[in-house]
Amino acid sequence: MSSLDEEAARDELRALVGDDGSVELRQMFGTLAALVDGHVFAVAMGDRIGVKLGHDALAELDAVPGSGVLTMGTRRMKAYRSLPPGMPEAERRAWLARARDQVASRHR
């Protein structure tokens, strides 16, 4: 994986978040993370975008070919799934919004 791939994932995360004022983008874990109310709900990890989801949503995204458990180094991040390459932008935005809403609702 090249740094260009990593930078492309970071750029994509920035674009997917857009001008959502409820989201803070911050360098964390050696990459770019998206936070709502101070809690991470998405990351650009390597060349992938990963989203943090509840149990039912994890199972739903697991059924999408190309998605998988996100790993950070050697650690499997069980609450995160990667968005599959080639997934249409509208679907990627929907999963990001779903992750944001789920994380925000857990911390209210």
Q: Please compute the mean of the pLDDT values over residues 24-34 and round it to a whole number.
A: 92
Residues 32, 66 contacting (CB under 8 angstroms): no
* Residue spans of alpha helices (H) in 1-108: 3-17, 55-62, 89-106
- CATH of region 3-106: 3.90.1150.30
Structural element, H or E, at residue 76: strand 75-82
Closest CA to 79 of 56, 97, 63: 56
pTM of the model: 0.91
Give the mean pLDDT of 9-28.
Answer: 94
pLDDT at 28 > cutoff 80: yes
Ordered by start, the domain boundaries in the chain are 3-106
- pLDDT band at 3; cut points 50, 70, 90: low
Cα 60 to Cα 99: distance, rounded to the nearest angstrom: 13
pLDDT at 4: 62
- Is the pLDDT at 1 greater than 60, yes or no? no
Taking residues 53-62, what's their average pLDDT?
A: 94
Mapping DSSP to helix (H, G, I), strand (E, B) and coil, where does residue 33 land?
Answer: strand
